[in-house]
Amino acid sequence: MKPLGVQAMVNRRHLLLACMASVVPLQNALAAGRTLPASANLPQELKQALAKHEPLVVMVSLHGCPFCEVVRNNYLGPMHEREGLQVVQIDMLEQRATVDLAGQATTHAALARAWDIKVAPTVLFFGQGGREVAPRLAGGDNDFYSGLLDRRLETARRELNG
């Protein structure tokens, strides 16, 4: 094999640096994970879910919460993307505006307090009239999370569709 000249080594180095520069944004994008739509108007979001004969799933999260990331990336995000499950997110400390289920202007943080949420993530399931139609799923550090979530969704769907 013939040794590389200086120019060829410089070209290879530039090529390698260019490849590395394109990989870093991709890694950052993958590390960021999935996002869920933030609630802006719960009555409208509920109406959209009920039109599909599905509950409205609300994930109450906390920025930087590792268990919230797991639930969002491994469970609710894929269900939202692939199955069209109507899921919205409420950040329990955020002052972002939304409309509550009674049609009143409020914030994400005020909703979390009104719903007496103490643990992030907490997943709620809403049906007709803004009524909770399955038990809440609080916390995300559970080896059986997938099964627990599936059972809650089955309960909510049964409640909605008789």
Q: For 61-82, what is each residue's pLDDT tens digit?
A: 999 999 999 999 999 999 999 9
* Whether residues 104 and 137 fall in one domain: yes
* Whether residues 83 and 143 fall in one domain: yes
With bands split at pLDDT 50, 70 and 90, how would you rate the model's confidence at 48?
A: very high
Is there a cis peptide before residue 37, judged by omega within 30 degrees of 0?
no
Around Cβ 52, how many Cβ atoms within 10 Å? 11
Structural domain of 19: 1-32
Q: Which of 135, 124, 125, 136 is nearest to 160 (CA)?
A: 125
* Whether residues 17 and 69 fall in one domain: no
* Whether residues 79 and 140 fall in one domain: yes
Please tell me the distance from the alpha carbon of residue 125 to that of residue 48, in angstroms, as a whole number: 14
Please tell me the distance from the alpha carbon of residue 35 to that of residue 80, in angstroms, as a whole number: 10
Work out how many domains the chain is built from and give that number.
2
- Decide if 20 contacts 12 (C-beta within 8 A): no
DSSP 44: H
Q: Answer yes or no: is pLDDT of 42 > 50.
A: yes
pLDDT tens digit string along 111-160?
999 999 999 999 999 999 999 999 999 998 778 999 999 999 999 999 99
* Whether residues 154 and 94 fall in one domain: yes
* Comparison of pLDDT for 98 and 34, the residue scoring more: 98
* Whether residues 49 and 96 fall in one domain: yes
Long-range contacts of 147-152 (CB under 8 A, 24+ apart): 149/75, 149/123, 152/123, 152/125
